[in-house]
Structure 1
Amino acid sequence: MARFAIASAKAADRRSKSEKDGLHVPTFLIASITSACNLHCAGCYSRAEHATQDCEPVRQLTAEEWDRVFAEAEEMGISFILLAGGEPLLRRSVVEKAAARPNLLFPVFTNGTYLDGKYFDLFDRKRNMIPVVSIEGGREKTDTRRGEGVYDLLRANMEEFSRHGILWGASVTVTRENLDEAVSPVFAEELTSKGCRLFIFVEYVPVTEDSRDLAPDEEDREKIRKAVGELRSKFPGAIFLTFPGDEKASDGCLAAGRGFFHINSHGGAEPCPFSPYSDVNVKETSLRAVLKSGLFEKIRDGGLLLEEHVGGCTLFERRGEVEAIAKTSES
């Protein structure tokens, strides 16, 4: 981590230089390195948008193409690359490319079912790789959404992380059904006792009109904000983040390169995983060009990220407008 701290300071200098040259480079990149997944989680947004599937996609970026993306990101001053999917551990070759870049920090968002001896060894040796396991609360909430037996598997993974002294995190999809349990001190205590030092609470994004009742409303979001504030005070050794709930704290949405952007498994550059629209592809252009794309610039310059809105996710609530911008940018 000492090496990463030095690299992070140098990355900040590179971002500052780019800013002076007229290009804002964000700190984060979200890389969905595969669209394949072995689970069928209830209400999965990615499956509903057909971004995730059972089989291995044909046109996904190769490990070498992802390595080029990682190299460009490092050269630009991006410090954090979140590896997502699908299930990212299905692509061991890409994960190994990431692990070979110690100047970048890679949180790896995994359902935990493909963690094996080789992966535990990798996370032990390569401390720039931070496993972030998806969990919904206790056994009942987790298995109801993710499948029977998943909770016990995750508990076994936690024990293995603890045995190796591996820093790890938890990603919790917060719905109106698991809200109280997900942000409770009891749940946080249970995970921190096993070495969890990063909690990411992702507000559920409805996939159909019928599932809107699961999505937190404004009263629920206020409850989440208050509870997370209390958790930060009670567990100062851990980091607690909410997505997209921290939009208020950051004066608006951070997508489209303002604070982060998303590359999907096929190379399409998107504002955010919850806003799956693209007008450029990294197979054909550089990350610098991506940040200057018509779609990203119109979203940022049009004030869409800063507008008042009802709901947790700005771009999801205004997906019709984003889709229209994407179509005009392509033409």
Structure 2
Amino acid sequence: MSVINSVEKGLKNTLVNTIVDILDKNPEKNVERIFALIKKTIKDPDEKAQIDFVCDYYNENQHIHDFVQNILKTTNKNCIKKFFVNFFANAAWFGAPIRDSLKEEGGSVPFIILLSPSMRCNLRCTGCYAGNYSKEDDIPREEVERIISEARDLGIYYMVILGGEPFINKYMLDVYEKFNDVMFTPFTNGTMFTPEVADRLQKLGNVIPMFSLEGFEKETDARRGKGVFKSVMKGMELLKERGVLFGVSSATATNNLDVVTSDEFIDMLIEKGSKMSWYFMYMPIGEKPDISAMLTPEQRLRLGERTRAIRTEKPYFTIDFFNDSPYVGGCIAGKYYCHINSNEDVEPCIFSHFAAYNVKGKPLKEAFKTEYFKEIRSRQPYNKNLLLPCMMIDNTNQIREIVKKTGAYPTHPSAAKMIEDPLFMKQLDNLSAKFKPEAEKAWKEVFNEEGNYKMSKVD
């Protein structure tokens, strides 16, 4: 490490300790001071510009101001400090130069890893990609810990835990404790929360659960089973009482889009203590892929409109996996994140079930240097119109060409259909053709054909 880098790291450590001290006392009264401290330490002009943007956003939008103040006032001190240290300091600041170092070896380390230790679940939700799995299909605990340890060594301090149901393996709570400098976000169906689990999460501080909801009781129970909605509400109440940060994940389909983006639904989530919602489109994967359940072109764009409106008109944060792609340079799969399934295949995306490397007993970093991941990154963005980010449903020839060129293999039967089943492939092509003219119109009228192309290339 050079003297300059050593000094910069020392300054950042001092900054982190100062902000942690503020967060431990009265952070809601010192937001401006926190911004000033961060700007004083950061040297990169682009990073400073980003901080200025966030600061102005906080000061000029009352809803954003109220949102930040609510987090600072209602979140348990241990949880808020862990979020700052693990996510902002470790993942964003200290992890970045470590991740960049692999570029010299021809790889590119993602910011986030999605990990599915188990595909088992206590529910059988319609359209879920998980399907039927047994305990024998789980990744052994020692292997889970090896993967997380290697990821951390590569500068990855943010892990999203999927499944299946992440809380089905109770030992994961011990894993979160062991890697207490890493931020974990388990996506959960919310049926396995007890006061004991909630107490443990409060003590850990480095876990932010995301509850899956398809809407109110009618919509959620219709897909997930009777009584699931009430279980989720109970889980939310347990975490809210303890000041544990949590959010909501909603899969949007033709039957529930208007519900999960409605003012009534968002207001209910805010009242329950949720801090954010992550919207996904229903994708044609899983045991019985159903294209008819996917959003229409009009609905898909309307989801983006509502997402942007909610986060500026309410004290709440929303992310739209597809419609927010202009802000991150298009598709980020294989570039800023990847998924390791329960068989330890390294996939570029939770919805793209193809792999060219299995990490069982092999170094994780080699996955990011494979020709498969290099080819994916070299082609991104797949379309100049960043509202057409996906290689599977927007630019359907891309996945077929990439798999053929690199020899990647399908990790799920539904994935094989995308490159082998003529009827299914034609359905996907028709879906893409219908959306393209609507996306072109929105790209011009809403985004003025401008996006964050800087983030589209990392190699």
Letter of the aligned partner of 2:299 in structure 1?
Answer: D
Mapping for residues 1-331 of structure 1, pairs under 5 Å:
1=82, 2-4=84-86, 5-8=88-91, 9-19=93-103, 22-44=106-128, 46-47=129-130, 52-56=131-135, 58-207=136-285, 211-236=290-315, 238-256=316-334, 258-301=335-378, 303=379, 305-307=381-383, 314-317=390-393, 318=396, 319-325=399-405, 327=407
Larger Rg: 2
For the residues of structure 1 that align with 2:366 and 2:247, how far apart are their CA atoms?
A: 32
For the residues of structure 1 that align with 2:216 and 2:145, how far apart are their CA atoms?
A: 37
For the residues of structure 1 that align with 2:234 and 2:361, how far apart are their CA atoms?
A: 42
> CA shift at 1:289, angstroms?
0.4
For the residues of structure 2 that align with 1:214 and 1:132, how far apart are their CA atoms?
A: 23
Cα-Cα RMSD: 2.4
For the residues of structure 1 that align with 2:408 and 2:339, how far apart are their CA atoms?
A: 20
Letter of the aligned partner of 1:221 in structure 2?
Answer: R
177 and 37 in structure 1: CA distance in 2 versus 1, 3 angstrom threshold: same
> CA shift at 1:34, angstroms?
0.6
For the residues of structure 2 that align with 1:149 and 1:175, how far apart are their CA atoms?
A: 21
Confirm or deny: 8 A CA contact 2:252 2:280 kept in the other structure: yes
Letter of the aligned partner of 1:223 in structure 2?
Answer: R
For the residues of structure 1 that align with 2:406 and 2:243, how far apart are their CA atoms?
A: 45
Confirm or deny: 8 A CA contact 1:305 1:315 kept in the other structure: no
> CA shift at 1:21, angstroms?
5.9
For the residues of structure 2 that align with 1:41 and 1:150, how far apart are their CA atoms?
A: 11
For the residues of structure 1 that align with 2:387 and 2:219, how far apart are their CA atoms?
A: 24
TM-score by length of 1: 0.89
Confirm or deny: 8 A CA contact 1:35 1:86 kept in the other structure: yes
Name whichever of 91-100 and 225-234 sits farther off. 91-100
For the residues of structure 1 that align with 2:273 and 2:282, how far apart are their CA atoms?
A: 25
Letter of the aligned partner of 1:62 in structure 2?
Answer: P
For the residues of structure 2 that align with 1:108 and 1:279, how far apart are their CA atoms?
A: 25
328 and 101 in structure 1: CA distance in 2 versus 1, 3 angstrom threshold: closer
Secondary structure of residue in 2 paired with 1:25? coil
Confirm or deny: 8 A CA contact 1:112 1:157 kept in the other structure: yes
TM-score by length of 2: 0.65
210 and 167 in structure 1: CA distance in 2 versus 1, 3 angstrom threshold: closer
Confirm or deny: 8 A CA contact 1:31 1:82 kept in the other structure: yes
Per-residue CA deviation, residues 116-174 of structure 1 (Å, 9 max, x unaligned), is 23321221111111111101111100011111111111111111111111111100001
For the residues of structure 1 that align with 2:325 and 2:200, how far apart are their CA atoms?
A: 34
> CA shift at 1:226, angstroms?
0.9
Match in the other structure for 2:78: none
Letter of the aligned partner of 2:294 in structure 1?
Answer: A
116 and 324 in structure 1: CA distance in 2 versus 1, 3 angstrom threshold: farther
Letter of the aligned partner of 1:307 in structure 2?
Answer: N
Decide which structure has greater helix share.
Answer: 2
Secondary structure of residue in 2 paired with 1:248? helix
Confirm or deny: 8 A CA contact 2:322 2:389 kept in the other structure: yes
Letter of the aligned partner of 2:108 in structure 1?
Answer: H
Confirm or deny: 8 A CA contact 2:375 2:402 kept in the other structure: no
Confirm or deny: 8 A CA contact 1:28 1:261 kept in the other structure: yes
For the residues of structure 1 that align with 2:404 and 2:361, how far apart are their CA atoms?
A: 23
Confirm or deny: 8 A CA contact 2:330 2:380 kept in the other structure: no
For the residues of structure 2 that align with 1:328 and 1:277, how far apart are their CA atoms?
A: 6
225 and 329 in structure 1: CA distance in 2 versus 1, 3 angstrom threshold: closer
Secondary structure of residue in 1 paired with 2:239? helix
Letter of the aligned partner of 2:180 in structure 1?
Answer: P
Secondary structure of residue in 2 paired with 1:201? strand
For the residues of structure 1 that align with 2:375 and 2:305, how far apart are their CA atoms?
A: 34
For the residues of structure 2 that align with 1:308 and 1:213, how far apart are their CA atoms?
A: 27
Higher relative contact order (CA 8 A, sep 6+): 1
The alignment covers a number of residue pairs equal to 321
Letter of the aligned partner of 1:291 in structure 2?
Answer: F
Per-residue CA deviation, residues 289-311 of structure 1 (Å, 9 max, x unaligned), is 0101122112222x165236899
> CA shift at 1:18, angstroms?
3.6
Letter of the aligned partner of 1:29 in structure 2?
Answer: I
For the residues of structure 1 that align with 2:387 and 2:85, how far apart are their CA atoms?
A: 40
Unaligned runs of 5+ in 1: none
Secondary structure of residue in 2 paired with 1:251? coil
Secondary structure of residue in 1 paired with 2:319? strand
Decide which structure has greater strand share.
Answer: 1
Name whichever of 72-81 and 320-329 sits farther off. 320-329
Secondary structure of residue in 2 paired with 1:71? helix
